[in-house]
Amino acid sequence: MIYKKLPHTDLEVSKICLGTMTWGRQNSEEEGHQQMDYAVDKGINFFDTAELYPIPAHPDRYADTEKIIGSWFKKTGSRDKIILGTKIAGKADFTKFIRSSGFRRESLIEAVEGSLERLQTDYIDLYQLHWPERSTNYFGKRGYKHDLTDHWQDNIHQVLETLSDLVSEGKIRHVGLSNETPWGTMRFLEESKVHSNLPRMITIQNPYNLLNRQFEVGLSEISIRENIGLLAYSPLGFGVLSGKYMGGMKPANARITLFPAYSRYISENANRATQEYYNLAQENNLSLTKMALAYVNSKPFVTSNIIGATSMKQLKENISSIEVDLSDELMKGIDTIHNNIPDPAP
Count each helix (H run) and each strand (E run) in the chain, helices first. 11, 10
- Those residues with Cβ within 8 angstroms of residue 192's Cβ, 6 or more apart along the chain or in another chain: 160, 198, 199, 200, 201
When computed from its CA atoms, the radius of gyration of the chain, rounded to whole angstroms, is 19
Instruction: Choose the catalytic residue: 38, 53, 138, 262.
Output: 53
- Candidates 138, 171, 176; CA nearest to 46 is 176
CA 97 vs CA 91, 148, 212: distances in Å: 10, 26, 31
User: Do β-strands 12-14 and 201-207 pair in parallel, antiparallel, or remain unpaired?
Assistant: unpaired
Is residue 278 part of the annotated active site? The answer reads no
Specify whether the backbone of 248 is left (phi greater than 0), alpha (psi in -120 to 50) or beta.
left
Q: Find how far residue 10's CA is from the centre of its chain.
A: 21
Q: Among candidates 109, 50, 129, 28, which has minimal Cα distance to 306?
A: 50
d(CA 285, CA 119): 41
**∠1-282-345 over CA atoms, to 5°?**
80
Q: Which residues are catalytic?
A: 53
